[in-house]
A and B are shown apart, each in its own frame.
Chain A
Amino acid sequence: MQSVVLLKNVNKSFGSAGRPTTVALKDINLEIGPREFISLIGPSGCGKSTLLRTIGDLIEVTSGELLVNGKPARQARINREYGMVFQAPVLFEWRTVLKNVELPLEIMGVPKTERTQRARAMLKLVELQNFERHYPWQLSGGMQQRVAIARALAFRPELLLMDEPFGALDEITRERMNAELLRIWQETQTTVVFVTHSIPEAVFLSTRVVVMSARPGRISDIIPIDLPYPRNVETREHPHFFELVTTVREALRKGEEMRET
């Protein structure tokens, strides 16, 4: 089976002439298969967002091979093969909720009736069907982020890239959004790469958790999450859930220690 994302010896350094370069990513090797849910977790400055952005071709790699659906990342972007969700919802204030979700479809030239139909279906998926005529400022933060997810899914991308999408939400809303995202992921059969700071979030959502460490940014461990589905509120209280949270936490600590020695 073809991998959705393939990274081979990927390096990324930032810097300009005359200044020391910062190695943001060092020797990244990672293969992500179809229908996986991968979380990237690590301390600030470990390059998890940079890694996500290189996959999305918002940043170019310095060296190494990076393929999305078997193509260079740039080609995958031009073919519109992935959807992107940022930490902020990034909604367009002048568009209603429905028009926001329609935006990528509009750019891709989908006929009007079809794009309205598809946008409505996506709003139903994120349970905002009654808000299609609202403007973004009329919605709460969690609802705005759901609109952003609906927008990212509207053109049915095979890959969803999410950069700390729930980072700005309170704990209760975040847990609810986690459950919803998991449901959406199962319904849409999308591959997800998800950047987060939160260990429980990563464990709850993922099929595998990729642990990263800083200076230079690298992958220090990959932990498979074998929690059964459907995952729900009880999952979070299951002893095995806590075991996995501990495993990830120890992997994070080990990654930190490796740096100091």
Chain B
Amino acid sequence: MITGALRFQRYAPPLIVFFAVIVLWEVLVDLLNIQRFLLPAPSVILEAFFRTFSTIMSSAAYTIRSAVIGFLIGAGTGILVALATARWTTIREGLMPFAIALNSVPIIAFAPIMNNWFGSTNPMSKIMIVAIITFFPMMINMVRGLTLVEPAKLELMHSYATAPFEVLTKVRIPNSLPYLFNALKVCSTLALIGAIVGEYFGGPRESLGVYILQEAQLFRFDNAWAAIIISALLGIAFYLIILAAERVAIPWHVSVEKR
């Protein structure tokens, strides 16, 4: 049982830091007379946030859609490919070096190519970027989860003369779940980055990336900052959804229990 006092003790330090930074920001902008186009004060951003909220959200809807669809495709394929490699070891040995190499490539650099292939206003150009960005971490982590099984567990299953498929469903897949959720958390962040940055290279007018770019070019930095805050909130929301799913799916795991 976490009592009210304990809960306060846990959440108080980050809250204090958060408000201290905001206050400091506000005071410094005022004292040093920082120009609005360099850094708007929090109060100005907050005002812009409420003024433009509905405009930003309608742009954000497009970006969220690209991010979520791309995420589902990328993470889904990553999981399926990983499962296939658990079954056919040669595939794994052939694919893993490339997957690890490609995972360190900044995929976002391909955004202009995707815009060229699909057309910058076609949602597919962003969905594909997100799908590729999320595929590699998902696949690599999932393969690790399926293969890094305690040898004694496999020996025990061998002593029961267990069929390979049952070893997969009863040992390898449950073993991979913590890895899977870690990858999903990474991918949730990557998906949003991929979608927004992809839009910087060109996209429909009603999208978060294009909105931020356009407002910045028009020197409406307060609006740009408001949109950035919304993208940050979206990223956090995405992450929290995965966290909640993890709690439901693997209540036995230490990372869930210790929180």
Contact = CB atoms under 8 A, between A and B. Distances in A.
Interface residues of A, number: 22
Given A56-B159, A77-B159, A93-B253, A107 B153 contact: no
Interface residues of B, number: 22
B174 A92 contact: yes
A58 B174 contact: no
Contact of A58 (B158, B253, B254, B257): B158
A88 interface: yes
Most buried by B among A57, A84, A93, A108: A93
Interface string A75-91: 00110101010101010
A95 B177 CA distance: 13
B155 interface: yes
A142 interface: no
A5 to B, nearest CB: 15
B160 interface: yes
B161 A77 contact: yes
A90 B153 contact: yes
A230 B152 CA distance: 34
A78 B159 contact: no
A252 B210 CA distance: 81
B150 A58 contact: no
A128 B162 CA distance: 27
B171 interface: yes
Contacts of A229: none
B166 interface: yes
A88 B151 CA distance: 11
Interface of A is mostly: loop
Contacts of B159: 56-58, 77, 82, 84
B160 A93 contact: no
A135 interface: yes
Interface in B237-259: 250, 252-254, 257
Interface of A: 56-58, 77-78, 80, 82, 84, 86, 88, 90, 92-95, 103-104, 106-108, 135, 137
Given A56-B159, A90-B150, 11 more contacts: A57-B159, A77-B159, A84-B159, A90-B153, A90-B156, A92-B174, A94-B177, A104-B160, A107-B160, A107-B170, A137-B257
Interface of B: 150, 152-153, 155-162, 166, 170-171, 174-175, 177, 250, 252-254, 257
27 contacts: A56-B159, A57-B159, A58-B155, A58-B158, A58-B159, A77-B158, A82-B159, A84-B159, A86-B156, A88-B152, A90-B150, A92-B170, A92-B171, A92-B174, A93-B252, A93-B253, A94-B175, A94-B177, A94-B250, A94-B253, A104-B160, A107-B160, A107-B162, A135-B252, A137-B252, A137-B254, A137-B257
